[in-house]
């Protein structure tokens, strides 16, 4: 790699007029090309204010270098993701921020796309077809023998029954299922519990 080779780097965009900021990774096509991020959700900020870029760390221009840069980008975003109102990153290592997940769901409903493009009956029918395909191809639970299903059931119940939960209102301790019945019988919100073992 020469001093004029294309680079991979992590960067931080800040704005002269406001406190907003954005972290990213860029892989150059040519050395020192002009690049100020590729905003989609918050493009307005780049258009309204004056962005400044600071290169934080350089990486080898290889697949390994790119993977390392993405890892570092995630470490930069994670502490402020979904918590700092000035951070413009809406994605952190493949996780979408709660705010934009809600907006995307609302928009999908409005447009009638994705799962919202189907009626309730169509969704039920699609679920049945999917289940039939799994059964035909012996995938998932359908790949197990009755003995294996029984053994998995026993293991699951042992795990569940070995867990101890406490009602936060009365202090009553039992397993999860029994605590639900106990709380419902006393009109206690079943979310008022904590796992103690």
Q: 137-150: per-residue pLDDT in tens?
A: 887 777 778 888 77
Q: Which of 10-14, 70-74, 89-93, 160-164 has the lowest mean pLDDT?
A: 160-164
Q: Is the pLDDT of residue 166 over 80?
A: yes
Stretch 103-130: mean pLDDT, rounded?
74
pLDDT of 145 reads: 83
What is the per-residue pLDDT for 154?
A: 76
Torsion of CA 80, 84, 85, 86, to 10 degrees: -70
Residue 10: its pLDDT value, please?
96
Q: What is the mean pLDDT of residues 192-196?
A: 87
**Does the pLDDT of residue 134 top 80, yes or no?**
no
Between 159 and 26, residue with greater pLDDT:
26
Domain boundaries, the chain: 8-95, 121-160, 163-197
What pLDDT, on the 0 to 100 scale, is given for residue 45? 92
Q: Where are the beta strands (DSSP E) in the chain?
A: 8-15, 21-27, 51-59, 91-92, 95-96, 165-167, 173-174, 193-195
| Confidence band, pLDDT 50/70/90 cuts, at residue 82 | confident
Higher pLDDT, 115 or 68: 68
pLDDT of 162 over the 90 cut: no
**Residue 59's pLDDT band (boundaries 50, 70, 90)?**
very high
Mean pLDDT for 32-38 is: 89
Scored b (16 or more CB within 10 A) or e, 132-154 reads eeeeeeeeeeeeeeeeeeeeeee
Q: Residue 165 in contact with residue 194, Cβ under 8 Å? A: yes
| Residue found by looking up tokens 């029984």 in the block | 150
| Model pTM score | 0.51
HSE-CB at 54 with a 13 A cutoff on CA atoms is 8
């Amino acid at each position: 790699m020469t001093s004029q080779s294309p680079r991979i780097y992590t960067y931080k965009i800040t704005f002269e007029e406001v406190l907003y900021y954005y972290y990213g990774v860029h892989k150059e096509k040519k050395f020192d090309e002009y690049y100020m991020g590729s905003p989609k959700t918050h493009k307005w900020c780049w258009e309204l204010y004056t962005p400044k870029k600071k290169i934080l760390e350089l990486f080898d221009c290889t697949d390994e270098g790119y993977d390392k840069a993405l890892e570092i980008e995630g470490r930069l975003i994670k502490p402020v993701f979904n918590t700092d109102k000035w951070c413009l990153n809406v994605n952190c290592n493949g996780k979408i921020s709660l705010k934009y997940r809600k907006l995307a769901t609302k928009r999908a409903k409005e447009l009638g796309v994705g799962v919202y493009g189907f009626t309730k009956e169509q969704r039920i029918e699609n679920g049945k077809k999917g289940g039939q395909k799994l059964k035909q191809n012996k995938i998932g639970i359908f790949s197990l023998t009755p003995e294996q299903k029984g053994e998995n059931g026993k293991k699951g119940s042992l795990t569940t029954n070995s867990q101890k939960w406490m009602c936060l209102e009365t202090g009553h301790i039992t397993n999860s299922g029994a605590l639900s019945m106990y709380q419902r019988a006393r009109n206690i919100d079943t979310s008022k519990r904590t796992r103690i073992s």
